[in-house]
Structures are given as C-alpha cells and as structure tokens.
Chains A and B, each alone.
Chain A
Amino acid sequence: MFTAAIKSYSRAIELEDTRVFALIECGNIFLMLGSFRKGIEQFQQALKISLQNMSALYGLASGLLGMAKECRNSGAFRWAASLLEDARKVAEASIKSAGNSSCTWKLHGDILGYSSPGQLTYAQVFPWTEESQSLEYNAETFKKSIYSWKNTCGLAAISARNSYQRALHLAPWQANIYIDIAISSNLISSFNQDNTLDKCTWKLPEKLTLGALALEGENSEFWVALSCLSDCNALKQHSLIRGLQLDVSLAYAWAYLGKLYREENEKKLARQAFDCARGIDPSLALPWAGMSADAHTGDSTPDDAFESCLRAVEIFPVSVDITFYALPKLAEFQIGLAKLALLSGNLSSSQVFGAIQQAVQRAPHYHESHNLNGLVHEARMQFQAAIASYRLARYAINISLGTVLKSHLKDISTNLARSLSKAGNAIGAVQECEDLKKEGMLDAEGLQIYAFSLWQLGENDLALSVTRALAASVSTMDRISAAVSVSFICRLLYYISGPDLAIGRILKMPKELFHSSKISFIVSAINALDQNNRLESIISSSRYFLASQEEITGMHYLIALSKLIKHGTKHHLGFQNGVNHLRKALHMYPNSMLISEVWGNSQVSSRCSIVDDSDSKNKEGLKSAWEISSAGAVACHAIGNSEPRFSFPTCSCQCTSSGAMQELQKCLRREPWNHNARYLLILNLLQKAREERFPVNICIVLERLISVALSNEFYSGKEAICQYQKFQIYLCASEILLQRGNIMGCIDQAKNASVLSLPDSFQFFGHLLLCRAYAAEGNLKFSKEEYERCLELKTDFLVGWLCLKLMESQYEEQPASNIFELAFKEGSEGRNNSWNMWMAVYSLGMGLICLWNQDFLSAEEFLEQPCSLTSAESCIFLCHGVTSMEIARRYHDSQFLSSAIRSLSKAYITSSVPIPIVSALLAQAEGSTGSRKKWERNLRLEWFSWPPEMRPAELFFQMHLLARQIASESDSSSRVEGWQSPLQWVLRAIHTNPSDLRYWKVLPKLL
C-alpha cells in the first residue's frame, strides 16, 4: 500500500510541483519505510517551496535523525554525530517558527539525547577523538581532552533533558516524555558521577518512570524502563515480570531478566530467561553476551565465549534495546569482548580491533579501554600505537577519582614496558621497569622485560643479576609462568654467556624446572649447538611433556635440524641425516604438513645438483609452499619439462614445479611489493629462457623485470640476503645480455655483480661470467685474467668448477693443475650419494672437452667412467653411445659398436621420457650389426619419441626406408610406416627439408 501511495504522490508532484503536501506525505512514507535518504530529499524539496513549513522541517529533522541512527547502528559514530548536528539545526529552525510544539521539542531532545524509549543519539554518539591525531599526549592535555569530551556529552545530555522538559511542559499528559527525561537524567548522572541528588527516597529517574507508569500503567516498555533505571534488584525483577505479564513476547525484558538472574547467581533461571529472549528475537545482543559470560565461567572454552561475545558486539550496534537503559556502561560489550579475546588469543582479529576502537571512542575515561586498546595494538604489531595507548591508560587511571587497584597500574606499566621493549626502545623500557621496581611492583614478567631490555642495552651484568632475581622467584610461580621464566632464563643465559656457560648453568638448575614442552624446545635448540650433547638427559626427561601433534612434529623438525648441524661441516649441512630422520618422522605422522614441507625442501636441497643450496638453506626458516616449490624449481633446473619441445629432461628427481611460474605470478599479482616473489620469478624465467634457448620475448620480459627489481629499495640493504639476491639479479641481467649478443652490457652488469661484497664462493660466479663474456668478445687476454681470478677465489659449488673447466679448454696452453680434481674431492665430501653424480658430471664435462678437440678415444675413456658410476643418467649414456659409435665408424671397431648399443639401450631404458635420436642411433647401430628386426623396431620407436610438430625430414626419410622394407610383407597396415606409401614419406621429407639432395635422388625411383 505504501509503495502505491508513493507512486500516487509522485504523480501528484509531477502534475503540480508547487504544493508541498504531496512532497511531505511522500517523505513521511519514506521515513516510515526506513528510506531516510529518499525521505530527506522529499522534505528538502518541500522546504524549497515553503521555507518555514513545520511539517517539512519536522520530517527533515526526523529523517536526519533516522539516518544518524542508522550510521550509529553500523558503528560510524562520527558520521552519525555530524548528521545529528544537521538534524539539530533543522529542529531548532522549526522551533524558532513555532515554539509550542511539544513533538518538535521532543524530537529536539531525541536528537540531543535519546528518542523514544532510549535510542541513544548525540550525547552518546559523540565520540572522543584524539585531538590533532598526535600521539604526543601528556597527562595534562589528556585530562583536558577527557574533560572536554565529558563536558560535550554532558552538555548535550543536559540540553536534551531541557528539551524534553519543554516538551513535557507543553504536553504534560504524554507519558513517554517522562521516560525520556528519566533516561536523560540517568545519563547526566552517569557523566557527572554524582549520585548525591537524592534528597528523597526515590532517585529522579526512577521517580519519573513511576510518573509515566502512573499515567500508563499498562505500557510494558515503561515497566522494562523502570527495571533498567532502578537500582534495587527486587524492584527490577518485579517490574520486568510485570512487563512480561503485560507482553510476554518482550525479548529484551527476558534478556534483562536473564541478566538480573545472572547477577543474583541464579544460573539456571538466567539461562532459561536468555533462551526465551533468544527464541523471541535472535538478534538481541544481551543474551549472546550472557551466554558468553556463562561460557566463560562455566566449563566451555574461552573460544566459545569469545564467539558469543563477538556475536553480541556485532549485533550490538544494530540492537536498539541493548543500550536501552544500561547507559553508564556504554562500552562494556566491547571491553568485555577484548578481555575475552585476550583469553582466547584472538587479540589480533579485526573484529576485536574495531570493537576496542569503538570502546575507546565511547569510554575514553575508562582506563581499561585504553589498556586493552594497547594490547590489541600490540597483538597487531603496532607497538608505537600500543605505547601511546598504555600511556593514555595510565593518565586515565590518574584522572579517575575512585580508588583504582594498584594491580591495574602495575599491569598497565608492565604492558607499557613490554611494548617499549618490543618497539626497540630499550631505554624507555628500562626506565619503566625501574619505576616499577621503586613501587615494588616488579613481577616475573616485569623482571623478564627488565632483564631483556638491559641485555639489549648491553648491560649484561645487570641483566644477569636481574635474571638471578627472576630465577629466585621461579619456585613461587605457578607452572605456566614458571616455565616461561625458565625458558627466558635459558635463552638469555645463552645469549649473554654463550652456549658453554649457559649449558653449565642449566645443568645446575633443578631438573623439575624443565618439565614443560616449551622448555624442551629451547633446551633442545641449545643442545643442538653443543657437540658434546651435555644436555641429553634433561632433554630426554623434558620431552615427555610434548603432548600435541604439532609439538611433536615441531620437535622432530628441530631434531632433524640439529642433526643437520651436528653432522654437517662448515658449508654443507648433514642433509642426509636430517632427511633420514624426517623420513622416519613422516612415516609416523603422515599428516604433518610441516614435516613434509621441510622434508621436500631438504630433499630438494640435498639431491639437486645445481647452485643454490645456500639459497635453499635460507628457506628452511619455514617459508610458504610456493616459495619452496619455486626455489626448488630453480634448483632443479626443471622448469617447463611438461612440454618437451625444447628439452628432454633426464633428471629422475622431477620437481613438481610445472606450476611454479604460475604460482609466482599469482603471488606477484597479489603482492606487487613482494621482492622475493619477483626475485624467484626472475630466476625461474631465466631458467625457462635457458631451456628455450633465450627467445627474444622472454629476454625482454626478463630485462624489464630485472630493472623493476633493481629499483626496489630492498636491494640497497647491506644484509647478506639482499646482497646475495642483488648479485643473482645482476648475474641474470648479464647472462641475458650475453645471450642476446650485447657483450658490453653484459660485462658492465657482471662487473656490477662482482663489486658486491659477498663471500668468495659467490664472487667466483661473477668472474666466471666475466670470463665467458670476454671470451665471447674474443678478448682472450682479459678472459684469461678473469679465469685466473676465479682460480684464486675458489668456490664451494661444483658446477662452478665445471664451468670453469669448460672455459679452460678454450685457452691454448693447458695449466697442468689438478686443482679441479682436488676441488671436486673437497666439494663432494659429506655428500655420499651425490658424489658419484658429481664425478659423473665432471667426467661428462671432460669427455665433452675431448670431443671438442676431436679426441674421441680419450673422450670415450672419460665417458666410460660415469657410465659405470651411475645407473640413472641417460644423457651420459647417450654421450657415451654417440662417442662409441663415432669411434666405431672411424676405426671400424665392432667392439665399440657393441658398447655403443649397450649404452644407448641403457639411455633408452633409464630416461623417463623417450629421448629422440637415441632410438635412431640404436637402430643404426643394430642395423650395422645386421639385426634387421631390431633396426626396424628401434626406428619405429624413434618415430614416437619425437613430438609431432618437431619431426625432422630425416625421420620421414627413414620411415620411407622402413615402409619400403615392409612393402613386400603382408600385414603392413598396422604399423606406423604403413600409414603412408614410401613415396608419400619421401614427399613429406622433401616438403620438410627441400634442400637435401638425397631425398630428391630417391624420388624418381619411387615414381
């Protein structure tokens, strides 16, 4: 009906837009429907026509009030306040034109204070703002600020009450105005905190409510109001029950009844009442809050309580009734929520953040709100803000007249000290702690902060003495805080006096102190660094206290790490031990993400051959999955092997990294500032470019990525990781320039790279690249210089030596040094299972060098070695096979032919994907020995080992041979070569490569 009315009115307005009646009626309907904004528009239109129209003014003011309430309900207090300011102006304009309208005065009162019954507005909405947004509050300005806030609120409340009184004076028979006055009086007294005005037995708010009831005794809401404004529990209960008798579906009456019963400790009745309330109206906040309080005291976990309370706070701004009359404790829900969050560890959630911000806005005079605000900030790692909040909390305590428990002050000061220390302000923290000490309020936590800050300041002796004081008090603590203290002591001892002294002290401590999982971790960690395992007994006893799955897996991780450290040498951690342990652990706990992640990681770093194992080492500080997988991808040189267009991977350890590039790009899109992702993307792209023989488009992309990466200020840092990454990026840039033929640019970049201050081991690669660049330029002299520089620098990375060896072969004279063999032997120590591989690769390199020099026989010798060493590397077999065949061809030695066949068939068997050429060669070799069947079979295999679009002309030609071979035979159609006639095969070969005369020669014979 309303919408129909709106339509009709709109039509009326269209027809005749100089009459206000339709506009006002339309606006009123909009207000009724809750579309305040539309309503406001209508009234504003009406006011343009008739400047002083009472109804329009009234409607406009109520519309603004309604909108302000909406804002307030959604928690936007400041916006609400500004809307209310507008509404107030409109209402006052309306009053000016007619001062004897009771409803206008009531509206004015509503705007300033409340509206019918008890919807809070200006006086309650007006938020406390941190003036000028500066954090530099001192006690005096804070006091002033609070005072002026209180004043503003109080004045608003008083003028609201005055407006209500005017309204009542004009229309004394309106019962609800009594309630309004009662509520505003209650609010005023809450701001003034003086309850001394009761000369009579009844307090003013109670009395006025009674007045309203005298006029309208059947109004159930008045009864609820009475219960809220009364101080006497019996009266509260009576009036709530009376209210419920009049209207049993008053949800908030049930809720208040529940609250009342809770206060009286009638748990069961309270729950029943809350249940009733929730049943009637589940959007009420109070029952949820009540549930949360129940949960908190009862046996359920703080988490449940937190959930319920969160519910309450979320509903709260929407719920009108909650603030119905419980005004003095405006922010109690928010504060309660924050307290529960503290217990359940949800402090950093943004709901809590929002709630506590509101609490601070609305109860700035209450120290707890600032304190909790500080805690929340701290949990969100905003230490400066936390410090400011704690300071405010302390000022608030100083201002509040009532007697504040000393423990509150202590808590706040301790919090402040902790935040200062976390924010890096050790001096301030020490100052706070000393103040606390003077007051005699330094507890265990305070002592810890004190000791820690002293240690930060370098005052180790003082720190130790404080630690001693802490240790003395451990025996009096409860178990948890004792455990915390003990672990703190252990760590501090370690940091101050080093592992040996710390271990000695720890051994002296009574054993039962270590009965906690946390301590077990710390002691184990210290023990990991101790080669003598002196703490073994303590550890084994403390490990019994590891309870949860996570703790146990964490401990396994730690043990694995400690094995890495203990069994490792300087640069090579004892991966194998660690991996073994983790494998066992994984067997026991197959679900543990942590272990499998770490296991995968260390597997990658231990197995994979190439450079970056220092890179992988950094990763062991638990990084996200994409980082590990992409770093692994770089390390494994295995990008893009899903598509065998460019290369044919032979590595048996296939990293599951085909998606790494995509993952990295996704990550970079999510976090464009993430330099680490960009860095890994560059490395991965380079890998891809290398595989695809440096296509121009990828190179351009890489160049742009690199220029972006280098402009990141992160790389101006002096930390090792920054320098290392910068170095790698320079090397990438240089490599790309080299591949694109820009030798000058390449040399520049490589020089950039080599000036960075990095360990020799890395520097090596810079010079290696320079060496290559000069060689490419043809400048052998400089190249040689760089080569020698490399020899001086040495590296731990075998691949570096290998590259250098290859470079070496470029120079005429052969420096007869066995430096390479030495380096290899040294480098492969402690990597038992990879040593073979390295030797194989080395031999492969040597073999290749010999091949370049046309020295096939020694090449064969070199390649023979790895064939016997490894059993897995098909490319070595391939090389050996090819070399053997070449020798066989040159020297007509059938012995080499058979070894070629052996190697090639091994190459075929061991490779995970069919490698082209292998089968063709095999076919040729087999054919040479006269085995036609094998020749045919292998040739067919060769056909399938090529990706369709890459098949060369020669393959077609060979197929023609096959086809001709079987043309005479009967069942030819089932085979590959039978798909086409020999003629067609040759035509295809010619089509693919028309320049080969052999094909043309065959053609006439087939025609």
Chain B
Amino acid sequence: MAKSMKLAGLKSVENAHDESVWTATWVPATNSRPPLLLTGSLDETVKLWRPDELELVRTNTGHCLGVVSVTAHPSGVIAASASLDSLVRVFDVDTNATIATLEAPPSEVWQMQFDPKGTTLAVAGGGSASIKLWDTATWRLVSTLSVPRPEGPKPSDKSSSKKFVLSVAWSPDGRRLACGSIDGTISIFDVPRAKFLHHLEGHYMPVRSLVFSPEPDGRKLYSASDDGHVHVYDAEGKAIIGAMSGHSSWVLSVDVSPDGEAIATGSSDKTVRLWDFKMRAAIQTMSNHTDQVWAVAFRPGGGGRLASVSDDKSISLYHCS
C-alpha cells in the first residue's frame, strides 16, 4: 500500500439548510438515477442533493423538530428520516410519498440503519437502552434488543439513562448489530437469535457513530466517541484492534470507504480527517468547515466521493482518490 487516498474539495454549498445540518447519508443509485445525497437539519427539513454539483433535488418537510438521523434503503428506493420528537418518516426517495410513519416515545429514536438486505430497519433506541427492529414490509416493530444493565434490569432504575443508546451499525452480512451507548460501551447482538453477545470496552464517553468495515466477512468495527478517539474493534472477538487519535474534540461521525481502505471522521474541532488504518494515523485534515462537523459519508458503489455536513449549515463534497 503505497500512496493511498487523498481528498480534494469538489464542491461546497453554503447555507444548504437554514440551520445546522445534522445528518447525511447517500441514497444508492437506481436504474433511473445516480446516487443522491440525503441531508437532515435542525430546520426540520430533509433535502436531496444530486452530485457532483450538489444540485438541490427536493426539500422534504413534515418534521416538527430537528432531523437527527437519515438513512437509505440499500435498494435506493426508500429512505427514512427521524426527528428529535422520535417520529420516523419512511418515504419514497423519488416521489417523496410517505410510506410509513413510525412513532416511538421521544428520546427513543437516534441513529438508524437498514440492514444490508433491506428487510429490517434498526433504530438506536436512546433512552430505552435498546435497539428497535422494524420490519420493512409491514412497518411493524418486530423486535427489541435490550442492552443488559450491569445490576440486572429494573424498570424504575435510573441507570437506564446510563445505557442511553446513540448509535447503531449492521455487520455486512446482516447477522450482527452493534450499538453504542453514552457510557462508552459498545454492545454486540446476534440478530437471528435476538441475543446479546458481549460488550466492547474502551471508550469512556458517548459513542456517537459506529460503522463496520465493508468486507463481506467484516468483523472490523470502527467507533467514534466524544473522548476524541476512533477505535477499531474485532466485533466477534471482543477485542480492540487499535485506536486512532488526533481530533482535538469530540468525534461525531465515522465512515469507512467502500473499499475499506480509508476511514473518514467528522469532529467538533470543525475538521474532517482522513485516516489510514494501517498507519494508525490521520493522513489528511480538511478544515474548510467553520463549525463542528456532524456527519461524514462515503458514496457507496465507488467513484470516490465523500460528503460532510456541519453546524455551519454547509455541505461539502470531496473527491477521494
């Protein structure tokens, strides 16, 4: 591995939203169109952008509060957005027709992700200290994977908030789910058996973002935490492989490139960093944002695009080679 990746700014949209942009994801390409960038913001809207010009395709309204999470179905046909009031709206990407609204008690919807096959939507259940699984055919809640509490489950236990679940990630084969809590622990579940496997330790502050490396048998789990570090775990082996440090503040988001070669992170220190796992070091720092970077997302399916969104209301698109 000689010269690996390099980021180059392609396009940046100032004031893409009226308020802080909090979340972003790529909608995979369909037969009729290329991949689109989906962003959600505090201004209660969800916007669709067409690369590479970042041309605004549509603005979806309907949320009552800021949009904290967006995710796209692997087919690229549907997507879901969730707001602070825990309303999940599932909609058709091309027509914006509402397919379903999923309601949960407030504080119980944070990060969301469709499983690789697209049959289940996993939702980080916040205060419920669990992952909620929604069936994408019937849009019913099919399962709840609870994070076990240290001293046995007690419904009125105040420590429930200690296991507040912020982030969720599917393994590439769809058999494992990982979720990150605010106490820094990461919990691994066996989905087919609906069973908790084990905790991954190491972080001591909230884990806000998780991602599995994309190899088909991927066991490598990248985690981003408020303690400023990015950890790499062997999810099956319950072991930490490595840690990468360099951000001067919270790491808010982590994503891994489709080829699994590079990792990008966004942070409260207003930078986007590109990391080489083999070197365990940042190889590039982008400082074009003027406020904390809430999300970074590699475009699936190659082409080498990375998007980042920030509290400064802007979206940036980079070319990576």
Q: A215 with B22: in contact, given A185-B64, A197-B64 (CB under 8 Å)? A: no
**Are A172 and B110 in contact (CB-based, < 8 A)?**
yes
**Are B106 and A214 in contact (CB-based, < 8 A)?**
yes
Assess whether A208 is interfacial by the CB under 8 Å rule. yes
Chain A proximity of B149: nearest CB distance (Å):
15
Q: Count A/B pairs, Cβ under 8 Å.
A: 91
Assess whether A785 is interfacial by the CB under 8 Å rule. no
Residue interface mask B81-113, A partner, CB < 8 A = 1: 000111100000000000001010111101000
Assess whether A199 is interfacial by the CB under 8 Å rule. yes
**Are A200 and B101 in contact (CB-based, < 8 A)?**
yes
Q: A173 with B182: in contact, given A100-B249, A178-B107, A214-B106 (CB under 8 Å)? A: yes
Residue interface mask A159-179, B partner, CB < 8 A = 1: 001100110110011010010
Closest Cβ neighbor of B250 among chain A residues: A100
CA distance A200 to B85 in the complex (A): 11
**Are A215 and B64 in contact (CB-based, < 8 A)?**
no
**Are A211 and B107 in contact (CB-based, < 8 A)?**
yes
Chain A proximity of B314: nearest CB distance (Å):
14
Chain B proximity of A997: nearest CB distance (Å):
117
Chain A hits for B161, CB < 8 A = 173, 175, 215-216
CA distance A239 to B20 in the complex (A): 35
Closest Cβ neighbor of A197 among chain B residues: B64
Assess whether A90 is interfacial by the CB under 8 Å rule. no
Assess whether A204 is interfacial by the CB under 8 Å rule. yes
Chain B hits for A169, CB < 8 A = 22, 42, 66, 68, 84
CA distance A166 to B42 in the complex (A): 8
Assess whether A217 is interfacial by the CB under 8 Å rule. yes
**Are A172 and B166 in contact (CB-based, < 8 A)?**
yes
**Are A217 and B127 in contact (CB-based, < 8 A)?**
no
Chain B proximity of A784: nearest CB distance (Å):
101
Assess whether B156 is interfacial by the CB under 8 Å rule. yes
Assess whether B65 is interfacial by the CB under 8 Å rule. yes
Assess whether B164 is interfacial by the CB under 8 Å rule. yes
Assess whether A310 is interfacial by the CB under 8 Å rule. no
Closest Cβ neighbor of B181 among chain A residues: A173
**Are B164 and A207 in contact (CB-based, < 8 A)?**
no
CA distance A129 to B74 in the complex (A): 56
**Are A165 and B128 in contact (CB-based, < 8 A)?**
no
Chain A hits for B166, CB < 8 A = 172
Which of A162, A173, A199, A207 is close to B127, meaning CB atoms less than 8 Å apart? Answer: A173
Closest Cβ neighbor of B310 among chain A residues: A99
CA distance A161 to B66 in the complex (A): 10
**Are A172 and B87 in contact (CB-based, < 8 A)?**
no
Chain B hits for A204, CB < 8 A = 64-65, 85
Residue interface mask B249-265, A partner, CB < 8 A = 1: 11000000000000000
**Are A200 and B126 in contact (CB-based, < 8 A)?**
no
Tier of interface size on chain B = 35 or more
**Are B108 and A211 in contact (CB-based, < 8 A)?**
yes
**Are A165 and B66 in contact (CB-based, < 8 A)?**
yes
**Are B101 and A199 in contact (CB-based, < 8 A)?**
yes
**Are A172 and B101 in contact (CB-based, < 8 A)?**
no
Chain B hits for A178, CB < 8 A = 106-107
Task: Say what secondary structure dominates the interface of chain A.
Answer: helix
Residue interface mask A194-220, B partner, CB < 8 A = 1: 000101100010011011101111100
Assess whether A181 is interfacial by the CB under 8 Å rule. yes
**Are B42 and A162 in contact (CB-based, < 8 A)?**
yes
Assess whether B291 is interfacial by the CB under 8 Å rule. yes
**Are B164 and A99 in contact (CB-based, < 8 A)?**
no
**Are A200 and B103 in contact (CB-based, < 8 A)?**
yes
Chain A proximity of B204: nearest CB distance (Å):
15
CA distance A251 to B62 in the complex (A): 39
Chain B proximity of A107: nearest CB distance (Å):
17
Interface-central residue, A99, A162, A172, A178, by most chain B CB under 10 Å = A172
CA distance A181 to B110 in the complex (A): 17
Interface-central residue, A169, A181, A211, A218, by most chain B CB under 10 Å = A169
Interface-central residue, A99, A168, A185, by most chain B CB under 10 Å = A99
Assess whether B227 is interfacial by the CB under 8 Å rule. no
Chain A proximity of B208: nearest CB distance (Å):
9
Chain B hits for A217, CB < 8 A = 156
CA distance A218 to B182 in the complex (A): 21
**Are B127 and A211 in contact (CB-based, < 8 A)?**
yes
Closest Cβ neighbor of B98 among chain A residues: A199
Chain A hits for B250, CB < 8 A = 100
Chain B proximity of A202: nearest CB distance (Å):
8
**Are A208 and B66 in contact (CB-based, < 8 A)?**
no
CA distance A185 to B22 in the complex (A): 20
Residue interface mask A133-173, B partner, CB < 8 A = 1: 00000000000000000000000000001100110110011
**Are A208 and B85 in contact (CB-based, < 8 A)?**
yes
**Are B85 and A214 in contact (CB-based, < 8 A)?**
no
Chain B hits for A175, CB < 8 A = 107, 161
**Are B268 and A172 in contact (CB-based, < 8 A)?**
no
CA distance A100 to B126 in the complex (A): 19
**Are B106 and A165 in contact (CB-based, < 8 A)?**
no
Closest Cβ neighbor of B18 among chain A residues: A162
Chain A hits for B64, CB < 8 A = 185, 197, 204
Chain B hits for A181, CB < 8 A = 65, 84
Closest Cβ neighbor of B269 among chain A residues: A100
Chain A hits for B126, CB < 8 A = 172-173
Interface-central residue, A161, A162, A173, A214, by most chain B CB under 10 Å = A173
Q: A172 with B158: in contact, given A165-B84, A211-B127 (CB under 8 Å)? A: no
Assess whether B311 is interfacial by the CB under 8 Å rule. yes
CA distance A204 to B87 in the complex (A): 10
**Are A162 and B156 in contact (CB-based, < 8 A)?**
no
**Are A210 and B105 in contact (CB-based, < 8 A)?**
yes
Closest Cβ neighbor of A206 among chain B residues: B106
Chain A proximity of B112: nearest CB distance (Å):
14
**Are B164 and A165 in contact (CB-based, < 8 A)?**
no
Which of A98, A165, A199, A216 is close to B158, meaning CB atoms less than 8 Å apart? Answer: A216
Which of B108, B291, B311 is close to A214, meaning CB atoms less than 8 Å apart? Answer: B108
Which of B106, B249, B268 is close to A211, meaning CB atoms less than 8 Å apart? Answer: B106
CA distance A211 to B292 in the complex (A): 27
Residue interface mask A28-47, B partner, CB < 8 A = 1: 00000000000000000000
CA distance A98 to B87 in the complex (A): 29
Q: A100 with B292: in contact, given A169-B68, A214-B108 (CB under 8 Å)? A: yes
**Are B164 and A173 in contact (CB-based, < 8 A)?**
yes
Interface residues of B in 106-165 (CB under 8 A from A): 106-108, 110, 126-128, 156, 158, 160-161, 164
Interface-central residue, A161, A181, A214, by most chain B CB under 10 Å = A214
Interface residues of B in 156-183 (CB under 8 A from A): 156, 158, 160-161, 164, 166, 182
Interface residues of B in 40-97 (CB under 8 A from A): 42, 62, 64-66, 68, 84-87
CA distance A166 to B182 in the complex (A): 17
Closest Cβ neighbor of A189 among chain B residues: B64
Q: A208 with B68: in contact, given A173-B127, A215-B127, A217-B156 (CB under 8 Å)? A: no
Q: A100 with B268: in contact, given A165-B65, A169-B22 (CB under 8 Å)? A: yes
CA distance A162 to B21 in the complex (A): 12
Closest Cβ neighbor of B106 among chain A residues: A211
CA distance A216 to B162 in the complex (A): 12
Chain A hits for B234, CB < 8 A = none
CA distance A200 to B164 in the complex (A): 25
CA distance A514 to B19 in the complex (A): 73
CA distance A162 to B311 in the complex (A): 12
Chain A proximity of B150: nearest CB distance (Å):
16
CA distance A25 to B66 in the complex (A): 35
**Are A214 and B107 in contact (CB-based, < 8 A)?**
yes
Chain B proximity of A153: nearest CB distance (Å):
19
18 A–B contact pairs at CB < 8 A? Answer: A100-B249, A161-B65, A165-B65, A166-B311, A169-B42, A169-B66, A172-B110, A173-B127, A173-B161, A181-B65, A185-B65, A204-B64, A208-B106, A211-B86, A211-B106, A214-B108, A215-B160, A216-B161
With A100-B268, A165-B66 given, name 6 new contacts (CB 8 A).
A169-B68, A172-B164, A173-B161, A214-B108, A215-B161, A216-B161
Q: Which 3 A-B pairs have the closest CB atoms?
A: A211-B106, A100-B268, A173-B164
